[in-house]
């Protein structure tokens, strides 16, 4: 069985789907691992490291794609590359099926068995496969460093002969994996941190990291999906939320926003009126920029200055730590492949909820319950 890796071609993408160490583990299990030339170069994994692991390096992408039994990527390959795969080949990558119905139709037409790394259910048994959590943790960390770099103040309290500088105040909106990592990193840098999330269940986690949890009374008690994500709020609850956030944005030096709703644009948490009321020199880092942004004024891929407030809309934060991001992603991949492959053969066991929920298409059919229910 040939497991293939191609060089990522998406803009701003520096990760690779398989590290040399992960390749070595697959080869020891009897698989052939084929790597497109320089696929890992941007992640600081040169071809020589893959060759030392026993992988085969190819300079012909067409040969690699037409031979592959399983293709592992980070981003979804181009339509042209997908058409080069043989019938019944397996594709494992981030697919974002709800946002890409045309892609799903193409995968059906080509009879590609596609597994979405973004569709792995958030259950305890799947934690070592959860690429979204792995990448979100990196995003929260990197966003904090960007905020510290853009802010023209100290993060920690500084006591000097000239006087004492108070610590910066950081507000984290959304306390999922990215938000919790942002809280931890801002705290380590010395900021005073408070955090908001519509899910009361995360209060204990926020406080365990040394941050203050901001609470708002909502009319809807159930604010979390089965997958652990925040639900979209009613219009009344959105108004309550914005009023509370507005009070806290006025006194914040740094705001990091992380709120996402699967399959929908990111919710607007910071309005232009809130930005107008913020202190000059404050910084907003909007992790949700690629999904429309949590700040009304965010521009994806740009840093804007609005009345002295810097609004940063970063693209693909995990890719900015490409080496570690690729290492973690490869480990997530290995864990999923260990479940999918039994005794050297592919085993699409749809009685297993991980395989069922992760498989988007198989043999020309849509499998994902998430897609079937939409």
The total of structural domains in the chain comes to 2
Beta bridge partners of 4: 34, 71
- Give yes or no: residues 152 and 115 share one domain: no
Would 129 be classed as within a structural domain? no
Residue 343 and residue 310 share a domain: no
CB distance 317 to 323 below 8 Å: no
The pLDDT assigned to 80 comes to: 97
Q: Is 189 inside any structural domain?
A: yes
CATH number at residue 61: 3.40.50.720
Q: Is 374 a domain residue?
A: no
Do residues 31 and 23 touch, judged by C-beta distance below 8 A?
no
The reply to whether 133 falls in a domain is no
270 and 199 both lie in a single domain: yes
Show pLDDT as tens, one digit a residue, over the chain (374 residues).
999 999 999 999 999 999 999 999 999 999 999 999 999 999 999 999 999 999 999 999 999 999 999 999 999 999 999 999 999 999 999 999 999 999 999 999 999 999 999 999 999 999 999 999 999 999 999 999 999 999 999 999 999 999 999 999 999 999 999 999 999 999 999 999 999 998 888 999 999 999 999 987 766 555 555 555 555 667 777 788 889 999 999 999 999 999 988 778 899 999 999 999 999 999 999 999 999 999 999 999 999 999 999 999 999 999 999 999 999 999 999 999 999 999 999 999 999 999 999 999 999 999 999 898 87
Instruction: Check if 133 is active-site.
Output: yes
- 26-30 own/partner pairs: CB under 8 Å, 24+ apart: 26/334, 26/337, 27/53, 27/54, 27/55, 29/344, 30/344
Mark whether 159 and 46 lie in a shared domain. Answer: no
162 in any annotated domain: yes
List 113, 133, 282, 319, catalytic entry: 133
- Identify the active-site residue in 81, 130, 237, 253: 130
Any catalytic annotation for residue 14? no
Domain of 337 in residue numbering reads as: 2-119+322-365
241 is catalytic: no
The model's pTM is 0.92
| Catalytic annotation, pick one of 66, 78, 105, 127 | 127
187 is catalytic: no
User: Is there a single domain that holds both residue 296 and residue 197?
Assistant: yes
Out of 229, 237, 241, 242, pick the active-site residue.
229
In a domain, 229, yes or no: yes
- Clarify whether 247 is annotated catalytic: no
110 and 30 inside one domain? yes
């Amino acid at each position: 069985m040939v497991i293939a890796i191609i060089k990522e071609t998406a803009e701003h993408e520096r990760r690779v789907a398989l590290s040399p160490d992960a390749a070595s583990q697959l080869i020891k299990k009897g698989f052939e691992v084929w790597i497109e030339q320089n696929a890992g170069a941007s992640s600081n994994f040169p071809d020589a490291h893959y060759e030392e692991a026993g992988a085969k390096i190819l300079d012909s992408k067409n040969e690699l794609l037409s031979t592959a039994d399983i293709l592992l990527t980070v981003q979804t390959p181009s339509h042209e590359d997908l058409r080069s795969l043989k019938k019944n080949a397996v594709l494992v990558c981030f697919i974002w099926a709800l946002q890409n119905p045309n892609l799903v139709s193409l995968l059906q037409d080509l009879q590609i068995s596609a597994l979405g790394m973004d569709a792995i259910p958030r259950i305890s048994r799947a934690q070592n496969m959860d690429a979204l959590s792995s990448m979100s943790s990196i995003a929260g960390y990197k966003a904090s460093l960007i905020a510290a770099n853009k802010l023209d103040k100290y993060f920690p309290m500084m006591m000097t002969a000239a006087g004492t500088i108070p610590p910066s105040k950081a507000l984290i909106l959304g306390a999922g994996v990215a938000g919790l990592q942002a809280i931890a990193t801002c705290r380590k840098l010395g900021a005073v941190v408070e955090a908001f999330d519509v899910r009361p269940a995360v209060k204990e986690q926020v406080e365990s990291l040394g941050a203050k949890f901001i609470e708002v009374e909502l009319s809807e008690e159930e604010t979390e999906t089965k997958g652990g994500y925040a639900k979209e709020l009613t219009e009344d609850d959105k108004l309550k939320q914005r009023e509370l956030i507005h009070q806290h944005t006025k006194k914040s030096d740094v705001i990091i926003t992380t709120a996402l709703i699967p399959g929908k644009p990111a919710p607007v948490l910071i309005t232009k009126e809130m930005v107008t009321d913020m202190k000059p020199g404050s910084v907003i880092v909007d992790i949700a920029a690629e999904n429309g942004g949590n700040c009304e004024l965010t521009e994806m891929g740009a840093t804007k200055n609005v009345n002295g407030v810097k609004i940063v809309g970063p693209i693909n934060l995990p890719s900015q730590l490409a080496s570690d991001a690729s290492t973690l992603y490869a480990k997530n991949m290995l864990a999923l492949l260990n479940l999918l492959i039994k005794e050297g053969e592919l085993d699409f066991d749809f009685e297993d909820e991980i395989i069922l929920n992760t498989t988007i298409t198989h043999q020309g059919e849509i499998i994902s319950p998430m897609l079937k229910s939409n």
